[in-house]
Chain A
Amino acid sequence: MNKHIGFDAIVVGAGLAGSAAALVMAREGLNVALVERGQKPGSKNYFGGAIYTHAIAEVLPDFMERKPKFERPVTEAGFWFLAEDGLTKMVTQGGKLNAEPADAYTALRADFDLWWAAQAQAAGALLIPKTTVVDFIRAAGGAVVGVMTDRPEGEIYAPVVIISEGVNNLLTQKLGLIDHDLEPAHQALAFKQVISLPAKEINARFGLPDANHGVAASVLGDVSLGLPGMGFIYTNKKTISVGLGVMLDTLAEYQLRPYEVLQRYLEHPAIAPLVAGGQLLEYGGHLIPEGGWHDMPQLYTDGAMVVGDAATMVNALHWEGTNMAIISGKLAAETALEAHQQSDFSVRTLAGYEARLKEGFILKDMKQYRRFSRFLETHPEFMGTYPAFLNDALGGFFSAYGKPKRQLFTEIYQSLTGRRSLFQAAGDMLSMGRAVLGW
Chain B
Amino acid sequence: MFHALVAIKQVPDTTNIRIDPETGNLVREGVPAIMNPYDAHALAEAVKWKRKLGGKVTVVSMGPPSFITTIREAIELGADRGILLSDRKFAGADTLATSYVLAAAIEVIHKEEPISLLFFGKQAIDGDTAQVGPGVAVRLELPILTYATKIRAVDLENGFVTVERHTEHWVEVVETPMPTMLTCEKEIAEIPFAPLPDLIRSLRYDPEIWTMSAGPLEFDKQQVGVLGSPTIVFKMGTPPLPEPGEKFNTREVGVEKAVKLALDKAAAAGVLQAVLGGAQ
Let me know if chains A and B touch directly in the complex, using CB atoms closer than 8 Å: yes
CB pair A3 B203 closer than 8 Å: no
Contact call B195/A152, Cβ cutoff below 8 A = yes
Within 8 A of A (CB), among B160-205: 193-197, 199-200, 203-204
Is the CB–CB distance between A151 and B203 below 8 Å? no
Query: Taking the complex as formed, is B21 at the interface, i.e. its CB lies under 8 A from any CB of chain A?
Result: yes
Residues of B within 8 A of A110 (CB): 30
Please name the residue on chain A nearest to B192 by beta carbon: A152
Contact of A5 among B21, B193, B194, B197 (CB under 8 A): B197
Residue B152 at the A interface, CB < 8 A? Answer: no
Main DSSP-derived SS at the A contact region: loop
Within 8 A of A (CB), among B190-226: 193-197, 199-200, 203-204
- Across the interface, do A128 and B18 meet the contact criterion of CB distance under 8 Å? no
Assess whether B32 is interfacial by the CB under 8 Å rule: yes
List of B residues within 8 angstroms of A131 by Cβ:
196, 199
Residues in A with CB closer than 8 Å to B203 are 126-128
Q: A151 to B21, Cβ gap below 8 A?
A: no
- The answer to the question of A431 belonging to the interface, with a C-beta cut-off of 8 Å to chain B, is no
Query: Contact: A153 with B200, CB < 8 Å?
Result: no
Partner of A153, one of B32, B196, B204: B196
In chain B, what residue has the closest Cβ to A39? Answer: B32
CB <8 Å contact, A126 and B195: no
- The answer to whether A152 touches B18 (Cβ under 8 A) is no
- In the complex, A110 Cα to B199 Cα: how many Å? 22
CA distance A3 to B194 in the complex (A): 15
Question: Contacts A39-B32, A126-B203, A128-B203; is A156 near B196 (CB within 8 Å)?
Answer: yes
A173 within 8 A of B: no
Q: In the bound complex, how far is the Cα of B200 from the Cα of A126, in angstroms? A: 9
In the bound assembly, the distance between CA atoms of A126 and B203 in angstroms comes to 8
- State how many angstroms separate the Cβ of A71 from the closest Cβ of chain B: 13
Cβ proximity bits A146-160 to B, threshold 8 Å, 1 near / 0 not: 000111111110000
Contact (Cβ within 8 A) B195 A128: no
B interface footprint on A176-201 (CB within 8 Å = 1, 0 otherwise): 00000000000000000000000000
Identify which of B21, B193, B199 contacts A128 (C-beta below 8 A). Answer: B199
A154 proximity list for chain B (CB < 8 A): 195-196
Known: A39-B32, A279-B18, A279-B21. A5 touches B195 (CB 8 A): no
Report the minimum CB–CB distance from A170 to chain B (whole Å).
20
CB pair B197 A2 closer than 8 Å:
yes
A405 within 8 A of partner (CB): no
B residues less than 8 Å from A2 (CB atoms)? 195, 197
Which residues of chain A in 1-27 are interfacial with respect to chain B, using CB atoms and an 8 Å cutoff? 2-3, 5
Q: Who on chain A is nearest to B69 by CB? A: A40
Q: Which residue of A lies closest to B21 (CB)?
A: A279
Q: Number of A residues contacting the other chain (C-beta, 8 Å)? A: 20
Q: Does A130 contact B (CB under 8 A)?
A: yes
A39: chain B residues within 8 A (beta carbon): 32
Of the listed residues B21, B196, B199, B200, the one surrounded by the most CB atoms of chain A closer than 10 A to its CB is B196
Q: Would you give the shortest CB distance from A226 to chain B, in whole angstroms?
A: 31
In the complex, the answer to whether B18 meets A5 with C-beta atoms within 8 Å is no
Closest residue of B by beta carbon distance from A198:
B22
CB-defined contacts of B204 to chain A, threshold 8 Å: 126
B204 to chain A minimum Cβ distance, whole angstroms, is 8
Q: Are the CB atoms of A5 and B199 closer together than 8 Å?
A: no
> Pick the contact of B200 from A128, A150, A152 — CB < 8 Å?
A128
Judging by beta carbons under 8 Å apart, are B195 and A153 in contact?
yes
Q: Are B196 and A151 in contact (CB under 8 A)?
A: yes
Flag if B18 contacts A153 (CB, 8 Å).
no
Given the contacts A39-B32, A126-B203, A128-B203, A152 and B21 also touching, CB distance less than 8 Å: no
B18 to nearest A CB, angstroms? 7
Task: Enumerate chain A residues within 8 angstroms of B32, measured Cβ to Cβ.
Answer: 39
Within the assembled complex, what's the spacing in Å between the Cα atoms of A2 and B195?
10
Q: Which of A132-154 contact B (CB under 8 A)?
A: 149-154
How far is the CB of A39 from the nearest CB of chain B, in Å? 7
Scan A111-132; emit 1 where CB is below 8 A from any B CB, else 0. Answer: 0000000000000001110110
Find out whether the CB atom of B197 lies under 8 angstroms from the CB atom of A153.
Answer: yes
Within the assembled complex, what's the spacing in Å between the Cα atoms of A320 and B197? 38
CA distance A154 to B200 in the complex (A): 10
In the complex the two chains form, what is the Cα distance from A437 to B26 in whole Å? Answer: 51
User: What separation, in Å, do the CA atoms of A155 and B199 have in the docked complex?
Assistant: 13
Contact B18 A149 (CB under 8 A): no
Q: How far is the CA of A279 from the CA of B30 in the complex (A)?
A: 14
* Bound: A155/B195 CA distance, A: 10
Instruction: Find chain B residues with CB under 8 A from A3 CB.
Output: 197
Give the residue of A127, A152, A279 whose beta carbon is less than 8 angstroms from that of B196: A152
B181 to chain A, nearest CB (A): 30
The residue on B at minimum CB distance from A150 is B193
Within 8 A of B (CB), among A265-304: 279, 281
Q: Considering the chains assembled together, what is the distance between the CA atoms of A39 and B195 in angstroms?
A: 16
- Tell me the residues in window 78-112 of chain A with beta carbons closer than 8 Å to chain B beta carbons: 110
A152 CA to B77 CA in the complex, in Å? 12
Chain A residues with CB below 8 A from B18, complex form:
279, 281
Map CB proximity to A onto B1-28 as digits: 1 under 8 Å, 0 otherwise.
0000000000000000010010000000
Shortest B25–chain A CB gap in Å is 13
Q: Which of B18, B21, B199, B203 has the most CB of A within 10 A?
A: B199
* Bound-complex Cα distance A152 to B197 (A): 9
A155 neighbours in B (Cβ, 8 Å) = 196
Chain B residue at minimal CB-CB distance from A121 = B203
Once bound together, how far apart are the Cα atoms of A126 and B18, in whole Å? 33
Q: Which residues of A contact B21 (CB under 8 A)?
A: 279
The docked-state distance in angstroms from the alpha carbon of A235 to that of B188 is 47
Chain B residue nearest in CB terms to A127:
B203
Q: Can you list 14 A-B contacts (CB < 8 A)? A: A2-B197, A5-B196, A5-B197, A126-B203, A126-B204, A131-B196, A131-B199, A149-B196, A152-B193, A152-B194, A152-B196, A154-B196, A155-B196, A156-B196
In the A-B complex, the 3 residue pairs with the smallest Cβ-Cβ separation, listed nearest first, are A152-B195, A151-B196, A154-B196
Q: A2-B195, A39-B32, A126-B204 are in contact. List 5 more A-B contacts (CB 8 A).
A: A5-B200, A126-B203, A150-B193, A151-B195, A152-B194
